[in-house]
Chains A and B, each alone.
Chain A
Amino acid sequence: MLAEFCQLALICAFVSGVIFTTQLLIQLRRSPSEAEGISQRLVALTTINFTLIFASFVGLIILFLNSDFSVRNVAENSNILLPTAYKVAASWGSHEGSLQLWIVMLSGWSTAFAYTGRALPQSFRANVLGCLLIVQSAFLLYLLTASNPFERILPAPLSGRDLNPLLQDFFMVIHPPFLYMGYVGFAVCFAIAIAALIERRFDSDWARMSRPWANAAWASLTIGIALGSWWAYRELGWGGWWFWDPVENASLMPWFVGTALIHSLAASDKRGAFKNWTILLAILAFALSLLGTFLVRSGVLTSVHAFATDPARGVFILILLGVIVGAALVLYATRAHLITPGTTFRALSKETLILTNNLLMTMALGVIFLGTLYPLFAELVTGKKMSVGPPYFEAVVTPFLLPAVLLMALAPRLDWRQAAVGQVMQSLLLPSLIAAAAAIAFLLMFDRFGVLAALGVFSAIVLLLATVSHSVGQLRKLKDAAIRSRQPESMPLGRRMRQLGSAYWAMIVAHLGIAIFALGVTFAKSLEVEKEVILKPGETVAFSGWSVTFVGVDDRRGPNYVAAAGVFELSEGSGHRIELLEPQKRRYLSGDQVLTEAAVRYGWLGDVYLSLGDPVSGAAGSEADGSWSVRIFYKPMMIWIWIGCGLMAIGGVLSLLSRRIRSRSRAQDEQGVADGATATP
Chain B
Amino acid sequence: MNMSDPRDAVMLEPRFKNLAQEMRCVVCQNQSLAESSSGLANDLRTQIADQILAGKSDAEITAYMVDRYGDFVLYNPPMNLTNAPLWIGPGVLFAVAVVVVWKIIRKHRDTSEPPEGSA
Which A residues have a C-beta under 8 Å from some C-beta of B? 238-240, 243, 245-246, 273-274, 277, 302-304, 306, 341-348, 351-352, 355-356, 358-359, 362-363, 366-367, 370-371, 374, 378, 381-382, 384-392, 396, 417-418, 421, 530-536, 539, 541, 596, 613-614, 618-620
Contact = CB atoms under 8 A, between A and B. Distances in A.
A351 B75 contact: no
Contact of A359 (B17, B77, B98): B98
Contact of A345 (B28, B75, B110): B110
Given A385-B72, A392-B86, A343 B24 contact: no
A165 to B, nearest CB: 15
B17 to A, nearest CB: 7
Q: A-side binding surface: helix, strand, loop or mixed?
A: mixed
Among B32, B83, B97, B108, chain A packs the most CB atoms within 10 A around the CB of B108
Contacts of B28: 304
Give the residue among A243, A245, A306, A347 with the most B Cβ atoms within 10 A. A347
A172 B4 CA distance: 42
8 contacts: A303-B30, A346-B110, A347-B105, A355-B104, A358-B101, A386-B74, A389-B32, A392-B75
Interface of B: 1-2, 4, 11-12, 17, 21-22, 24, 28-32, 34-37, 70-77, 82-83, 85-86, 89-90, 93-94, 97-98, 100-101, 104-105, 107-112, 117-119
Contact of A370 (B17, B89, B101): B89
Contacts of A382: 82
Contacts of B72: 384-387
A352 B105 contact: yes
Nearest to B93: A366
Given A387-B24, A418-B110, 5 more contacts: A363-B90, A370-B86, A384-B72, A388-B77, A389-B24
A534 B101 contact: no
Contacts of B98: 359
A352 B107 CA distance: 12
B75 A389 contact: yes
Contacts of A358: 101
A293 to B, nearest CB: 19
A238 B35 contact: yes
Contacts of B77: 374, 386-388, 392
Contacts of A387: 24, 71-75, 77
A347 B22 CA distance: 42
A367 B24 contact: no
A384 B71 contact: yes
A417 to B, nearest CB: 7
